[in-house]
């Protein structure tokens, strides 16, 4: 039986998280929630959770600060950060704390499911029916295992995953890494065989497909959620990538 701790200062979010996945199906027999950092740390020390999901902002505190304190105490917990913010500084702090992933609110059920399954298989050495370990550790666009990619490329991929809904560009990434944009683009192309813009579009398309297939959201809303304020532009890219329209995919 696995143990889960969910930390958020909004009670409705906590209740929603408990219903987002069929946690019992994944072997979680104990689920605790907390609305403050201090209470979360206290419960974590008592519970020793296998997995803990922290909101990045809990009141005036930061979830990654609590994770750092728990790491210092030697807890074997695997952490997930969730956030309504897409600022890369938060993702950077999360990386330093060793979190398994950084998910944007509103949480995409499929993305949370993928992260949880990956933790169960890779870190908790459990099994999931129909899930292959290599699939969980493989980039969905590149089809390449993350541990076969350089640290720099993995950082770029994480940045795309956390900010794909925003107007993210190679120039912005280069500025944050304090690197020359042309040089960074060449490095990314050499390792991935894709331009930054091509990868970003492909990742957005995959995220859009997930939402189209798993929700009843309007296509315009989904397009905006994956970084396309121009619906016509979204339709053109979607049809070009999947050779079918969003409406055809939903039928």
CATH number of this structure's domain 2-136: 3.40.50.2300
Per-residue pLDDT tens digits for 194-249: 999 999 999 999 989 988 887 888 999 999 989 999 999 999 999 999 988 998 88
Nearest to 50 by CA among 102, 105, 109, 125: 125
Nearest to 69 by CA among 84, 86, 85, 52: 52
User: Would you give per-residue pLDDT tens digits along the chain (251 residues)?
Assistant: 899 999 999 998 898 888 888 898 888 989 999 999 999 999 999 999 999 999 988 888 888 889 999 988 889 999 999 887 666 667 677 777 888 888 877 777 778 888 898 898 888 888 776 444 455 578 889 988 888 899 899 889 988 887 888 888 999 999 988 899 999 999 999 999 999 999 999 999 998 998 888 788 899 999 998 999 999 999 999 999 998 899 888 76
Run of H or E residues at 53? strand 51-55
Q: Are 86 and 94 in contact (CB under 8 A)?
A: no
**DSSP type of residue 14:** H
Fold that domain 146-250 belongs to in CATH: Arc Repressor Mutant, subunit A (1.10.10)
CA 49/CA 79 separation, integer angstroms: 10
| Domain ranges (residues) in the chain | 2-136, 146-250
Which segments of 92-250 are extended strands (E)?
101-104
């Amino acid at each position: 039986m696995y143990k889960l701790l969910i930390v958020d200062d909004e009670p409705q979010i906590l209740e929603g998280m408990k219903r987002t996945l069929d946690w019992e199906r994944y072997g979680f027999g104990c689920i605790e929630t907390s609305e403050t950092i201090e209470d979360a740390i206290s419960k974590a020390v008592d519970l020793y959770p296998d997995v803990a999901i922290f909101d990045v902002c809990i009141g005036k505190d930061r979830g990654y600060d609590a994770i750092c304190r728990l790491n210092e105490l030697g807890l074997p917990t695997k952490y997930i950060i969730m956030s309504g913010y897409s600022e890369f500084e938060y993702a950077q702090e999360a990386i330093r704390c060793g979190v398994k992933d950084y998910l944007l609110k509103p949480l995409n059920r499929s993305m949370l499911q993928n992260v949880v399954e990956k933790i169960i298989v890779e870190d908790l050495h459990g099994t999931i029916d129909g899930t292959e370990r290599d699939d969980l550790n493989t980039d969905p666009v590149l089809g390449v295992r993350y541990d076969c990619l350089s640290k720099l490329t993995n950082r770029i991929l994480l940045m795309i995953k956390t900010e794909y809904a925003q107007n993210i560009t190679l120039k912005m990434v280069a500025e944050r890494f304090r690197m020359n944009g042309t040089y960074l683009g060449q490095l990314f192309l050499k390792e991935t065989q894709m331009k930054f813009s091509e990868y970003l579009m492909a990742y957005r398309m995959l995220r859009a497909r997930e939402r189209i297939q798993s929700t009843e959201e309007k296509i315009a809303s989904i397009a905006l959620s994956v970084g396309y304020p121009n619906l016509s532009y979204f339709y053109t890219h979607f049809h070009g990538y999947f050779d079918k329209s969003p409406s055809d995919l939903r039928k």
